[in-house]
Chains A and B, each alone.
Chain A
Amino acid sequence: MSEVHLDEKVESGGLIAHLRPHLKGYGIIWITLALFLLLTVTTGPFFSEANLRNILDQQATLLIAASLATVAMIAGGFDLSISAVFVAAPLLALQVENATQSVLLAVVVGVLAGLFVGCLNGVVVAVLKVNSFIGTLATSFMVFGAGYLISDRRILQPETETFRKIARTRWFSLTTATWIALGVVLATWFLLSRTRFGRHVYATGGNPEAARLAGVRVTGVTIAVFALTGAAAGLAGVVSASRSLSAMPSDDFSFLFGVISAVVVGGTSIAGGEGGVWRTVFGAFFIAFMINGFNLHQVDPIWQRVIQGAVILVAVSIDAWARRRPAG
């Protein structure tokens, strides 16, 4: 069987066999860099400080949520409620801010609201054993609804200057939104690659039964990753409200689509057990560069969607294909 075949190649340490997984695994880096170079050459405005700074600022909220969504996906969980939390948490935060003028309290409440929804998702998935798609779809509707209730269907705006400054302050020419995203990305990277919890996340997603037999608290890990994802979505929502100086109730799933696209285009497997936050960063910027390039080349926005969808399809097809190879 192919098992033996593989052994010979790998265990003898052949150069190609050694390089192949890396070429396959790091494709997203090369593609993103290639796109970067292509746009630098074909359009003048792309490689300008203002444009790149803008892209960084625009991607900040997505990266905050997508980093932790990556963790959930590696653990084998799929969180659809990110959008709902992203919409509803800042509404709660702004109500608190409007009522108390305390920005700190507002931010804490926004993040805790997300954490709470995340815990609920985690319990639904890990304890009640509901499929994570369905479970988080259900909580999505509850949270979207809560958004309308919290805001009384109004658009809310921050009253304090401090809240407006959360995301909009410039440090070393980058916005605080960008810095917050950078912090979350680094913290997530550390969590995944350096901590025991991170190992347990990979183990849980890679083979839950084996993880349990090795003494990993699989239920606890699952609840924790959903909780963290919820909190990150809440933080993303608050940063977004500060960036746009408002928050509005809606039933809009589009933020989730952006998050999931970034994660899977980066190469984190939907099947769990594999992936990394750096992948999601590249995935997010690949998509961001692509959209930026479309705009600079004045591609019809309708066509942009079609192409974006096709790109995601190609990315997940490659993932599925790569997974099939060793087994076949």
Chain B
Amino acid sequence: MNLMMLLEMAASSFGDRTAVTNGSDSLTYTELFDAAGAAAARIADSECEYSGLVDVNTLAVPIALFASAWAGTPFSPLNYRLTETELDALLARISPAFVVTDSDRAERLAGHDALTIVQREDFVASARSGAVLDRPWSMDPEDIAVLLFTSGTTGVPKAAILRHRHLVSYILGSVEFAGAAEDDAALVSVPPYHIAGMASIASSVYAGRRIVQLENFSAEGWIETARNERITNAMVVPTMLVRIIDALDREGDANLPHLRAISYGGAKMPQPVIERAMELLPQVDFTNAYGLTETSSTITVLTPQDHRDAAASDDPAVRRRLSSLGTALPSVEIEIRDESGEPVPAGEWGEIHVRGEQISGEYLDQGSRLSDQGWFPTRDRGSLDADGYLFLEGRSDDIIVRGGGEHLTG
């Protein structure tokens, strides 16, 4: 198994469709496949063990993700908001590394011996013109696809390992191949170093849904792009949705004619916010998704029908589901356990444990946190109602809230 297999299927089945758009520039699936191959050759030439990226959303992100899968280097997108000291500490942990970054940072990092620094525009240009790597990608499912440093308020950031088998299982279990319509377009404004940023690339490629990148989130920029690029799908975190709704309210015109679906996650959504959003955008299907870095993104969804049923119900137990995380994906099991590790009855609170082929629960240098039976303790407290709807009590570890409308959890 390898993420490249997903891109190969897309390129050979609908290669002429646009895969990703950034401003006035874009790549088709065939162009993305060829660019990944050429960039893989460059990564292989560098003889680095890892590949990384310190940058906002640009065409370099999907190219670097798939090129790393082809070359066989674990890909680590890093948080571009970190201080120089923090960033250097993370880079030291993935050295020797081939790192794609913006021109300012490329200049500063040029002195690091163990790093091959490549400026973003140069990386994309050479990927578009070079020859593809002359060996096939590995199909070993144990190979590491992505390394994501999880943020925490204290201590050293943990590097969560996502192997090809985790990410490919997630995509095969949750996305229908070529399931998107030809004019579908997904607006991606979560940063590349977030699991949702990585998952959105793999999901959209497999579904055949065009990705439209937003380099930095602002409510006005999001609304403008949604209109100009005829966006049909978008994923937002709750703070982004609050700001989008405020901007639409100020404008007095909630006209987003092409938008059909918004998914949200990453932090708890206040019930009044989602109720207002459903009023303001009645044609939009809302999906709430819950997942962690260590679970390869989504493990539960509150579907559009769940939203409508809850909003229309007079039964408080059903209405309350608007603030739930929905039910487990068919390929994922969930249990709520007490402090002694015993499962608790429906309606009671405890720690959320999850199991499934997409669950990693493994960290670089620290090993696996999975139990012998494959269960991952999320450290989130929650409860399941009688129908399997999951409620989150607030994270028992920590929630990081930064400026720029990004909640970064886990």
Bind each other: no
